[in-house]
Structure 1
Amino acid sequence: MQNILDAIQAADTSSEEFATIELPDSFQAITVHKEDVDMFEGMASQDKDPRKSLHLDDVAIPELAPGEALVAVMASSINYNTVWTSIFEPVSTFEFLERYGRLSEYTKRHDLPYHIVGSDLAGVVLRTGPGVNNWKPGREVVAHCLSVELESPDGHDDTMMDPEQRIWGYQTNFGGLAHLAVVKANQLMPKPDHLTWEEAASPGLVNSTAYRQLVSKNGAAMKQGDTVLIWGASGGLGSYATQFALNGGATPVCVVSSPEKAEIVRSMGAEHIIDRSVEGYKFWKDENNQDPKEWRRFGAKIRELTGGDDPDIVFEHPGRETFGASVFVARKGGTIVTCASTSGYMHQYDNRYLWMNLKKILSSHFANYRESWEANKLIDKALIHPTVSKVYRLEDTGQATLDVHHNLHQGKVGVLCLAPEEGLGVRDTEKRAKHIDGINRFRGI
């Protein structure tokens, strides 16, 4: 791989030279193994250790299908779907790969006894398959994680509605936590030139997800003046939702879990902050029963901060732990928009507060290509900044994933793949200097 890295770092290697550069027979990648799917059986989720299930393996380079690109991955990042993959919850991802493998001769490549994980990357195009016109070898890129076939009419208005919609690196193989990755060419987007490799790799999944969920017409369609309740406002998703709310003329009410996290969102410009560690909300009396008194106390705190306004939009992703409270506190006619359930999938809420107050529960899942492109453009224009707090080496991906699993991180956790050190890949130093405080806001936290 050294010749590839040398060509990238030279910065003046031509597209023709990249197209003919010698590729190795194999490359290093972070994988889970099919033979390990039962290794955590009987254990509580929090006790399952990704360091035991994630492996650094040498794997063969797959053949490129039409419309695909082979990318040299300089950096990637950890998302919660890598946690799910590593602990084999809620199902083993090998079920996804087996199902995808039955679709065509080309998709059979994905059905392997190992799964290369990771749904983010920043890197350089090395090869393209037949039919790829817009992306040439040598192009510096990031990738969004939407994989679609688009052979059904259902996906042509909104590609997220394609029956064969999948998340690359989670429901497909050949993901971004590796030295090389295979993506569909329509996953590629320009790398923001003022960012390092690890910074550019970190926003893809969460930034696009937050954009669709909060800003897009396919999500909550946030407008100026809206009050937006944001759970986990300093985390991977919430840190982008907070930025979108502030940039879009809305008023974020940021829920965090420590004074340190409160300070992070305050530095982003948020004024209305609820620290759960200080307020001590206990929305559940026991495993089966919630406490409406705590919902009311939480709603009263929101109105105290906003001058009497209830949330127009609730940005939901914790799921079971918070969903009852989210439904309760949304204003009459308000929207609870959910994209995940990191604390549990089986939600409970009092339906009276939904139906009698004409509230809406709206589902949102990742983003289509257009939404991903728009979200990336905001990063490129430095209107939204990456939220990298810590960066690991590829061989330490297990520890990085454990940090996310146990919520020991802030913002996003990056992973260096081919990049030998942090801080490389910046092409526009002048733009970077103008926004360095925002870029570094989460660093070292």
Structure 2
Amino acid sequence: MANELSEILQAVLAGESEAVGSLPMPESYRGVTVHAEDVEMFADLPSRDKDPRKSLHLDDVPVPELGPGEALVAVMASAINYNTVWTSIFEPLPTFKFLQRYGRLSELAKRHDQPYHVVGSDLSGVVLRTGPGVHRWKPGQEVVAHCLDVELEGPDGHNDTMLDTEQRIWGFETNFGGLAEIALVKANQLMPKPAHLTWEEAACPGLVNSTAYRQLVSRNGADMKQGDVVLIWGASGGLGSYATQYALNGGAIPVCVVSSPEKAELCRRLGAEHVIDRTAEGYRFWKDETTQDPKEWQRFGARIRELTGGEDPDIVFEHPGRETFGASVYAARKGGTIVTCASTSGYLHQFDNRYLWMNLKRIIGSHFANYRESWEANRLIAKGHIHPTLSKTYSLADTGQAAYDVHRNLHQGKVGVLCLAPEEGLGVRDEETRAKHLPAIETFRGV
């Protein structure tokens, strides 16, 4: 670690974060990267066999130039999301295409077009420097970051910033992401760090918590109401574990779909009563690579009604994609909503449109969240209504293994990464609130 970074870290660990603005900045920092020269390394391999441990590197990279409206953040901790897995296996396409496109936007944006890509779309840390025009945030403030990067120079994003024509996901479609010792963000990505959480706990909700909030709660998504039956795929995973909490917190009735007894138990510990272990119950929605099995949809729908007292889901919280989408469209109630983001099992969805059109169902596409939605989601974390689902934490040097675990579905909840933080358990500023919620905060730990 550079001497300058060591001084910054010591100030933070001593509880003197406000001092970092007067400390010198390093010229470089360590970041987890993929390399442009490696984009063909997994050619002809099936997705499952592509190994993030071979493609993710820990490199020294120069600290990027700080532009107007931006901030440099000392990253104490980060987390793994599926977009880092996709980046590491160069699917659905290498992210260098995103960086090249962004680099053509302006002279300043050219910084992002490099032969390396510093990845990661979550962080908790301390503001180091702010660029011209930043007034709300000051060096020394403890923050988390959401991952929406926008320009807002045109009209399209001003009702919903997710619709900005230059909307990007930071650390995936931009460079200088959060799996690093320093990150470059727009100032309007910053939010206050929940004071009762450790650095690693605070880092892990960002992307998935905001995504689940928009997808399920927001009027831009499913607009969930009290009493709704909500079918949640992968309900103990990084995204589904937050959807389960939002359903319970909002008075809805979650039906949690998982793939093992251990994951089923996690959902019950969150408070869910209705859980389907689809592995134990042997659901096979595809007869082969090209043919789905409607009888399995029917068996699945009957199981849901058995649990709910005869009710079909008002909302289906979709993210696996190809493997489950036909069943999701079938299972939703007449007039119900299938809200979808991501497609971790494949992007080409197939479903029987008769069940959609004749039953007046809706499919809503949902992608991350705007700043307001992210702020509200973070506020619920800070107030202790929604809790982090961190199960395990890795060192920055072991990010490849962390991404491998997520790629192979060997994890529960969220997987964290320590960046500058030398150990777990640091960064708590509100012990009273933490003590009140500690069992919920630690629901996923060690699972």
Tell me the residue number matched to 1:395: 397
- Tell me the amino acid that sits aligned with residue 96 of structure 2: F
User: Is 1:256 the equivalent of 2:258?
Assistant: yes
CA distance in 2, matches of 1:133, 1:215: 31
Match of 1:4 among 1, 8, 15: 8
Contact 2:17/2:141 (<8 A) preserved: no
Contact 2:17/2:126 (<8 A) preserved: no
User: Is 1:116 the equivalent of 2:97?
Assistant: no
**Structure 2: segments with no counterpart, 5+ residues:** none
- TM-score scaled by structure 2? 0.99
CA distance in 2, matches of 1:121, 1:37: 26
Contact 2:392/2:445 (<8 A) preserved: yes
Shift of 1:236: 0.3
Tell me the residue number matched to 1:189: 191
Tell me the residue number matched to 1:293: 295
CA distance in 2, matches of 1:278, 1:70: 48
- Tell me the amino acid that sits aligned with residue 250 of structure 2: G
CA distance in 1, matches of 2:164, 2:304: 38
CA distance in 2, matches of 1:176, 1:225: 38
Match of 1:218 among 217, 220, 233: 220
- TM-score scaled by structure 1? 0.99
Q: How has the CA–CA distance of structure 1 residues 388 and 13 changed in structure 2, closer, same or farther, with 3 Å as cutoff?
A: closer
Tell me the residue number matched to 2:144: 142
Tell me the residue number matched to 1:367: 369
CA distance in 1, matches of 2:235, 2:146: 22
Tell me the residue number matched to 1:435: 437
Match of 2:24 among 10, 22, 25: 22
Shift of 1:23: 1.2
CA distance in 2, matches of 1:359, 1:425: 46
Q: Number of aligned residue pairs: give it.
A: 443
CA distance in 1, matches of 2:146, 2:158: 18
SS of residue paired to 1:104:
coil
Tell me the residue number matched to 2:161: 159
RMSD between superposed Cα atoms in Å: 0.5
Match of 1:310 among 295, 307, 312: 312
CA distance in 2, matches of 1:83, 1:399: 11
Match of 1:36 among 38, 49, 63: 38
Contact 2:339/2:364 (<8 A) preserved: yes
Q: How has the CA–CA distance of structure 1 residues 267 and 13 changed in structure 2, closer, same or farther, with 3 Å as cutoff?
A: closer
Match of 1:379 among 374, 378, 381: 381
CA distance in 1, matches of 2:17, 2:354: 63
Tell me the residue number matched to 1:129: 131
CA distance in 1, matches of 2:202, 2:152: 28
Deviations 1:199-243 (A, max 9, x none): 000000000000000000000000001000000000000000000
Tell me the residue number matched to 1:242: 244
SS of residue paired to 2:391:
strand
Contact 2:213/2:246 (<8 A) preserved: yes
- Seq. identity, %: 77
Q: How has the CA–CA distance of structure 1 residues 372 and 19 changed in structure 2, closer, same or farther, with 3 Å as cutoff?
A: same
Structure 1 stretches of 4+ moved >4 Å? none
Shift of 1:197: 0.1
Tell me the residue number matched to 2:267: 265
Shift of 1:12: 2.9
Tell me the residue number matched to 1:88: 90
